[in-house]
Amino acid sequence: MKTATRASEAPEVLNRAVHVWLCRLEPASIASLARSSRTVLSEDERERADRIRRESQRQMFEVAHALVRQGLSVYADVDETDWSFDTNQWGRPEIAGPAHAPPFTFSLSHTHGLVACAISVGIECGVDVENFARGGQPLRVARRVLSEREFADLERQPVETKLDRLLEYWTLKEAYLKARGVGMSVAMQDVSFALDERGIRLVAVDSEATSGPDAWSFTSARPTPSHMLALALGPPDGPSRTVMMREGLPRDPAG
């Protein structure tokens, strides 16, 4: 009989907080980390990984999904291999089992060099990370993803900070849409933020939104020199939660 890994922290630590687990993907260690991460994945997750042709993307996927499992098991007496997941109609993963698991909410994001997983209880949360060295010409797509107001603000930025500003808007929008679980079914342009001396404010939302901008709070950070991260915390009491960033995989899957 398998015995559950004992939770190292009580689930109640998440009643007032959101923990964001960050795992850097270093070229020297990614292969072995992905190999050991794979051992805790479900068959379905391993099959999904196997369908990813590019090795670096596949390794990132394996580490990301191990991070979700291990992160959740920090707060519940559930073995990392025993979590099961469903997805909502727009693809958001949600916990399906085991039945005795606390009502955790989580959000996952992965990009070249970094994986992030936000975990909380009872609120909507969404995380997004992007790499500054992302391919293509991100500033070219600004018109397509930014609202009029955001685009005007971007145009006012000096050339050396334009990319930072664009990625800040971009990650905030994705984090917010991921927290709602709707993903890219909502046009990014229909969601608008203001970034100024008053901080980060959500100033316009699409017609499908069921809660107003004030129900939300946002954090923007640069967890590494190459990455931008945004976190969105929503109803019912996201704005009163504190945010804690935590580094590394909670446990070496090979250990």
Ligand X SMILES: CC(C)(COP(=O)(O)OP(=O)(O)OC[C@H]1O[C@@H](n2cnc3c(N)ncnc32)[C@H](O)[C@@H]1OP(=O)(O)O)[C@@H](O)C(=O)NCCC(=O)NCCS
Q: Which is nearer to ligand X, 11 or 126 (CB)?
A: 126
Decide: is 19 part of the binding site for ligand X (CB under 6 A). Answer: no
CA 162 vs CA 113, 151, 213, 221, 223: distances in Å:
22, 11, 25, 16, 19
Residue 92 touches ligand X, criterion: CB under 6 A: yes
Mask: binding to ligand X, 195-214, rule CB under 6 A, as x and -? --------------------
Work out whether 181 is an interface residue with ligand X (CB under 6 A). Answer: yes
Please state the length of the chain: 255
Pick from 37, 59, 105, 109 the residue near ligand X by CB under 6 A.
109
CB atoms within 10 A of CB 74: 20
The nearer residue to ligand X, 91 or 155, going by C-beta atoms, is: 91
Judged by CB, which is closer to ligand X: 106, or 160? 106
Binding of ligand X by 34 (CB under 6 A): no
Tell me which residue has tokens 């800040």.
Answer: 168
- State the virtual CA torsion across 142, 185, 239, 84 in degrees, nearest 10: -130
CA separation for the pair 221, 5 (Å, rounded): 32
Q: Is 130 exposed, middle or buried (0-12, 13-18, 19+ CB in 10 A)?
A: buried
Using rule CB under 6 A, residue 91 touches ligand X = yes
Q: Which of residues 120-179 bind ligand X (CB under 6 A)?
A: 128, 174, 177-178
Closer residue to ligand X (CB): 78 or 177: 177
Contacts of 189 (CB under 8 A, 6+ apart): 144, 145, 146, 147
Q: According to CB under 6 A, which one of 17, 58, 81, 90 is a site residue for ligand X?
A: 90
Instruction: State in angstroms the smallest separation of the CB of 132 from ligand X.
Output: 14
Which tokens belong to 53?
């042709």
d(Cα 8, Cα 85) in Å, to the nearest integer? 22
Q: Is residue 61 close enough to count as binding ligand X by CB under 6 A?
A: yes
183, 213, 223, 239: which one binds ligand X (CB under 6 A): 183
Distance from C-alpha of 239 to C-alpha of 119, rounded to nearest angstrom:
15
84 binding ligand X? (CB under 6 A)? no
223 lies in the binding site for ligand X (CB under 6 A): no
Closest residue by beta carbon to ligand X: 183
